[in-house]
């Protein structure tokens, strides 16, 4: 016995010594910014001064739990960016590196932004504090703003890495961010973000092909503008002296907000639910670097973005809402079926007790055959068990099913959209499942799974969701009759465009024709132009509909205004689409419960 105790102490000491060679540190990608209902990006550094090993970095908050597999050779220093889903800035967040030689837990300290009512602006730059003059100051013309700087090499490569920001401004060094970061910013703008692209004498991003999707202008060459009265008038802030601006021509779908003569100074373009702003000047160079009007400029870009169009916020509102499904046999529908209530179960058990004990023995006693009790009791047990089974038998014999709700946002010509939504899975048979995610960049799973008869207790120290460049769930263990739900953000290939023709009459009424050239049937079609809508019915693949915006026409929309984000300016299509290949591909699509709100934008193309 003493030998076993001594061996355990030795093993524990050695293991502790090996794990002491591993250290885990972190730093925020956007220092000082922390908001509710968003994903917070952290740069995590893992240092191994000991033996070669492998491990999983577990990232856990109330809304999510996933792991990042890591190889840790001796002497290595590994950096990885993780995304933490949080419902409020003060909730507990933990990191734990699990390895064969021991665990290394790390508690993440969080802090809210300086003011809860501030809008947040992220600057991607090599230089800290470029917008220090706009932060957390109140005026009658601009709301409090708070800025944070991210190094170009650490710019998040997933759209949710920008979800704590209202706007992103490109600064010096932004030309070096990765291709994946440029695509992530594109999806973030589609989801409702605001991107500011400054000009001036340099601004290499204005000629970078990777930003072609975003540029509201076609640039020419830098020129010096002496007359800055238009800029001073736009910001209501005095400005003297000439400034260098990038001469340009606005592209189709863009809107010029301010100009000096024939030179556009500020141009805005709607992209999905968000927008891109072009400033022809460099706000970080003299004389503008100390100009008070910068605060008004940033405030204008941020405040022009209505937060009711924020898809992540809308998704939170939409979670947990009840739904009614007509024409559905609830006994055969796994998403509306219910097991018998507790009253019915207790009643059946009481009836079984009465029948199996007093009545059974009384009947056998009268017949003088009490020795048959050990035959009648099992028979009665089987009969009552079968009665309970009938209440859920069709669920046991059913097939796996899935139902998806959310928003798919696509901007004309971008070839890639973004999906934000929730997905429910019904898994009738216990076992281990591969959820077969493709292109999913972030997942939160608030319910952690539940069963028809109680909580799913299959959770282990090994997370079911893994981050392997994209989110995967290769081995999820479940019990019989299990329901799973997760919220997800996913890049969605959209190698198709919708053909539209429009014309605005002298009375302001917009007429047009829309042809569905996508691979999906549309239902509850709604065409919007600058906030005015015209509703129609279904639009199958290959069919064309004529619309008229500006007067009452067509049937009323069946959209739930509380669960639908506010669309921006320009021409926008809203429609309901079923059966989209998003999230998990396990099971068949439960068509009566599967619907995605498509939002397709063209910008201000109506002339």
pLDDT computed for residue 111 by the predictor = 59
- Measured CA to CA, the distance from residue 79 to residue 265 in angstroms comes to 41
Please report which confidence band the pLDDT of residue 197 belongs to, taking 50, 70 and 90 as the band edges: very high
Asked if the model's pLDDT at residue 394 lies above 70, the reply is: no
- Measured CA to CA, the distance from residue 402 to residue 389 in angstroms comes to 23
| Mean of all residue pLDDT scores within the chain | 81
Asked if the model's pLDDT at residue 192 lies above 60, the reply is: yes
Task: Give the tens place of pLDDT for each residue, 85-99.
Answer: 887 777 788 999 999
pLDDT computed for residue 323 by the predictor = 38
pLDDT computed for residue 145 by the predictor = 78
- Measured CA to CA, the distance from residue 509 to residue 493 in angstroms comes to 34
- DSSP label at 399? -
pLDDT computed for residue 559 by the predictor = 37
Picking from 432, 436, 413, the residue whose alpha carbon sits closest to that of residue 423 is: 436
Asked if the model's pLDDT at residue 211 lies above 60, the reply is: yes
Burial of 38 (0-12, 13-18, 19+ CB in 10 A): buried
Picking from 446, 516, 380, the residue whose alpha carbon sits closest to that of residue 62 is: 446
pLDDT computed for residue 19 by the predictor = 62
Please report which confidence band the pLDDT of residue 336 belongs to, taking 50, 70 and 90 as the band edges: low
Hey, how many other C-beta atoms are within 10 angstroms of the C-beta on 82?
23
Picking from 546, 538, 540, the residue whose alpha carbon sits closest to that of residue 514 is: 546
- Record the pTM: 0.83
Please report which confidence band the pLDDT of residue 554 belongs to, taking 50, 70 and 90 as the band edges: very low
Task: Give me the mean pLDDT over the 251-276 stretch.
Answer: 91
- DSSP label at 356? I
Please report which confidence band the pLDDT of residue 350 belongs to, taking 50, 70 and 90 as the band edges: confident
pLDDT computed for residue 341 by the predictor = 60
Asked if the model's pLDDT at residue 113 lies above 80, the reply is: no
pLDDT computed for residue 295 by the predictor = 83
pLDDT computed for residue 397 by the predictor = 64
Task: Give me the mean pLDDT over the 539-545 stretch.
Answer: 95
Asked if the model's pLDDT at residue 325 lies above 80, the reply is: no
- Measured CA to CA, the distance from residue 161 to residue 275 in angstroms comes to 18
Asked if the model's pLDDT at residue 326 lies above 60, the reply is: no
Asked if the model's pLDDT at residue 183 lies above 70, the reply is: yes
pLDDT computed for residue 18 by the predictor = 54
DSSP-derived secondary structure for 317-328:
HHTT-----TT-
């Amino acid at each position: 016995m003493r030998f076993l105790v001594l061996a355990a102490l030795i093993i524990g000491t050695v293991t502790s010594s090996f794990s002491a060679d591993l250290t885990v540190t972190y730093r925020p990608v956007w220092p000082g910014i922390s908001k509710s209902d968003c994903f917070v990006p952290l740069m995590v550094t893992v240092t191994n001064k000991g033996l070669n090993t492998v491990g999983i970095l577990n990232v856990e908050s109330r809304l999510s739990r996933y792991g990042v597999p890591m190889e840790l050779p001796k002497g290595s220093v590994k950096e990885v960016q993780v995304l933490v889903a949080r419902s409020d800035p003060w909730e507990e967040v933990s990191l734990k590196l699990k390895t064969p030689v021991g665990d290394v837990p790390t508690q993440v300290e969080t802090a809210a932004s300086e003011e809860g009512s501030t809008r947040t602006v992220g600057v991607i730059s090599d230089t800290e504090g470029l917008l220090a003059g706009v932060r957390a100051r109140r005026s009658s013309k601009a709301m409090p703003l708070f800025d944070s700087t991210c190094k170009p090499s650490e710019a998040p490569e997933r759209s949710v890495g920008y979800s704590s920001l209202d706007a992103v401004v490109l600064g010096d060094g932004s030309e070096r961010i990765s291709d994946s970061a440029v695509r992530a910013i594109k999806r973030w703008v589609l989801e409702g973000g605001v991107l500011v692209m400054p000009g001036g004498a340099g601004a290499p991003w204005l000629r970078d092909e990777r930003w072609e999707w975003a540029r509201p202008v076609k640039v020419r060459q830098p020129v010096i503008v002496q007359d800055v009265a238009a800029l001073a008038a736009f910001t209501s802030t005095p400005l003297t002296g000439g400034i260098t601006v990038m001469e340009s021509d606005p592209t189709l779908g863009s809107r010029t907000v301010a100009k000096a003569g024939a030179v556009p100074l500020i141009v805005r373009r709607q992209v999905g639910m968000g927008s891109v702003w072009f400033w022809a000047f460099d706000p970080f160079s003299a004389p503008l670097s100390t100009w008070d009007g910068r605060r008004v400029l940033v405030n204008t870009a941020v405040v022009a973005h209505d937060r009711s169009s924020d898809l992540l916020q809308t998704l939170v509102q939409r979670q947990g809402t009840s739904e009614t499904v007509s024409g559905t046999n609830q006994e055969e529908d796994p998403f509306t079926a219910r097991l018998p209530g507790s009253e019915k179960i207790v009643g059946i058990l009481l009836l079984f007790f009465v029948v199996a004990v007093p009545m059974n023995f009384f009947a056998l006693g009268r017949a003088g055959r009490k020795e048959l009790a050990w035959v009648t009791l099992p028979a009665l047990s089987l009969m009552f068990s079968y009665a309970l089974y009938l209440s859920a038998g069709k669920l046991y014999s059913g097939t796996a099913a899935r139902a998806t709700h959310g928003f798919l946002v696509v901007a004309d010509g971008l070839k890639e959209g973004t999906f934000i939504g929730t997905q429910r899975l019904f898994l009738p048979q216990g076992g281990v499942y591969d959820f077969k995610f493709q292109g999913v960049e972030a997942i939160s799973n608030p319910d952690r799974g539940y069963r028809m008869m109680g909580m799913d207790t299959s959770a282990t120290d090994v997370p079911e969701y893994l981050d392997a460049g994209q989110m995967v769930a290769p081995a999820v263990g479940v019990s019989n009759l299990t329901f799973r739900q997760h919220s997800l953000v996913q890049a969605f290939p959209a190698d198709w465009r919708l053909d539209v023709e429009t014309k605005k009459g002298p009375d302001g009424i917009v007429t047009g024709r829309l042809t569905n050239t996508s691979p999906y049937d549309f239902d509850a079609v709604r065409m919007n132009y600058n906030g005015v809508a015209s509703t129609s019915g279904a639009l199958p693949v290959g069919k064309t509909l004529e619309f008229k915006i500006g007067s009452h026409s067509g049937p009323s929309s069946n959209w739930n205004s509380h669960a639908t984000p506010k669309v921006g300016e320009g021409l926008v299509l809203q429609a309901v689409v079923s059966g989209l290949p998003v999230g998990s591909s396990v099971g068949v699509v439960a068509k009566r419960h599967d619907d995605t709100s498509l939002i397709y934008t063209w910008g201000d193309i109506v002339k």
